[in-house]
């Protein structure tokens, strides 16, 4: 099975990803690929540096500075996505092809699955959601302030859009053991 994993900001996608890896799933992360695209010399890095010179530290795009800029300005966010999304989609399609060739179970963690319109490429979509107050508390505990969290959260697709796209939804609102059980139930239903 080729699974897309998506969900709300700080809902617990990374925790579910870890649980999937423990179940033997091969993993692919859009965030990791973006990190590589920004950190490695090449066309993408050069384009980001040119478009966002204030988001550069020691000659390399700084994710934190870029985030502060683009989540406050929709045009800047669209400009950054216009640079990052085409190569990200190409790499995703290559990884999907490799996953199908490899066989077995794979999951692709894609926070912006709704926005990317890539859901039809997967056998199933699993969404991780959590109540806003829990997600905010998680963000605050990781050093993000409330304003930044709310700006980022507002910029993403709505819970309704994610659920409409999903074949399974996990609500991460309690302990890890409960999340693990919910994941088992969700996977059995796919």
Mean pLDDT by 10 residues, the chain (190 residues): 96 97 96 93 93 93 91 92 94 93 93 92 97 96 93 93 96 96 96
pLDDT at site 189: 94
Rounded distance between C-alpha atoms, residue 59 and residue 22, angstroms:
37
Report pLDDT for 104.
87
78 lies in which domain range? 2-189
Sequence length of the chain is 190
Q: How many domains does the chain have?
A: 1
**Cα separation, 125 vs 167, whole angstroms:** 5
Could you tell me the CATH number of the domain that includes residue 114?
3.40.50.300
């Amino acid at each position: 099975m080729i699974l897309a994993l998506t969900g709300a900001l700080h809902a617990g996608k990374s925790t579910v990803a870890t649980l999937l890896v423990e179940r033997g799933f091969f993993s692919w992360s859009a965030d990791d690929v973006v990190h590589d695209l920004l950190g490695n010399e090449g066309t993408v890095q050069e384009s980001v540096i040119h478009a966002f010179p204030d988001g550069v530290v020691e000659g390399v795009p700084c994710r934190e500075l870029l985030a502060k800029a683009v989540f406050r300005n929709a045009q800047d966010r669209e400009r950054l996505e216009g640079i990052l999304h085409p190569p990200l989609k190409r790499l995703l399609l290559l990884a999907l092809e490799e996953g199908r060739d490899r066989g077995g179970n794979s999951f692709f963690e894609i926070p912006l699955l709704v926005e990317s319109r890539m859901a039809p490429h997967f056998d199933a979509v699993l969404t991780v959601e959590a109540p806003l107050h829990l997600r905010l508390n998680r963000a605050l505990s990781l050093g993000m302030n409330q304003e930044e969290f709310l700006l980022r959260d507002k910029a993403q697709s709505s819970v309704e859009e994610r659920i409409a796209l999903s074949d399974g939804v996990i609500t991460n609102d309690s302990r890890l053991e409960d999340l693990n059980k919910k994941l088992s139930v969700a996977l059995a239903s796919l």
